[in-house]
């Protein structure tokens, strides 16, 4: 019997934290299905820069991923019902309440576990494991470069 795992996220700029999360999720079963959030559904942080399909295509290209799916625009449980997972793996720092998800799944008659992945600590000084921090670093770097050009 195939053990199907679901992971989900925004995945705007892929970084080592994402790779850790998806690799750990994949190790829990035989198939890893990843649901990529649609831009309009990302309300807990800045919306993604990259288009929905581009983010899905990048995740789909990862070797540990069996298939990447775009989330539903109105009901986050629609792709979960279609995929019929054995386990939903939440990222270690995702804002989701695991107990609330379990309750919602039970209310829909979806029988699956909910687990949370471990975090990944930086392996060297300056390693960035957050999309927000990567974006901040790009902005700082570009602002610094612009200041250098203006000084000339």
Buried b / exposed e over 120-139, threshold 16 CB at 10 Å, is beeeeeeebbebeeeeeeee
Is 2 labeled as ligand-binding?
Answer: no
Is 92 labeled as ligand-binding?
Answer: no
Buried b / exposed e over 5-17, threshold 16 CB at 10 Å, is bbbbbbbbbbbeb
Is 84 labeled as ligand-binding?
Answer: no
Is 131 labeled as ligand-binding?
Answer: no
Asked whether the beta carbons of 21 and 117 are under 8 A apart, the reply is yes
Output 119-122 pairs: Cβ under 8 A, ≥24 positions apart: 119/17, 119/20, 119/92, 119/93, 120/16, 120/17, 120/20, 120/21, 120/92
Is 43 labeled as ligand-binding?
Answer: no
- The closest of 54, 69, 51 to 8, measured between CA atoms, is 69
Is 18 labeled as ligand-binding?
Answer: yes
Is 11 labeled as ligand-binding?
Answer: yes
Residue ranges for the known binding site are 10-11, 15-18, 93
Residue ranges for the known binding site for ATP are 10-11, 15-18, 93
């Amino acid at each position: 019997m195939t053990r199907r795992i679901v992971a989900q996220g925004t995945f705007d700029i892929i970084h080592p934290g994402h790779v850790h999360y998806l690799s750990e999720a994949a190790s829990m079963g035989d198939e890893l299905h990843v649901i990529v959030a649609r831009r309009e559904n990302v309300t807990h942080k800045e919306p993604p820069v990259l288009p929905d399909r581009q983010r899905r295509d990048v995740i789909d290209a990862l070797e540990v991923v069996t298939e990447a799916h775009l989330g539903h625009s109105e009901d986050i449980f629609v792709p979960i019902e279609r995929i019929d997972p054995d386990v939903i793996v939440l990222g270690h720092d995702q804002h989701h309440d695991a107990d609330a998800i379990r309750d919602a799944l039970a209310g829909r008659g979806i029988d699956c576990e909910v687990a949370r992945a471990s975090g990944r600590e930086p392996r060297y000084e300056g390693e960035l494991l957050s999309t927000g921090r990567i974006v901040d670093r790009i902005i700082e770097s570009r602002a610094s470069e612009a200041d250098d050009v203006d000084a000339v």
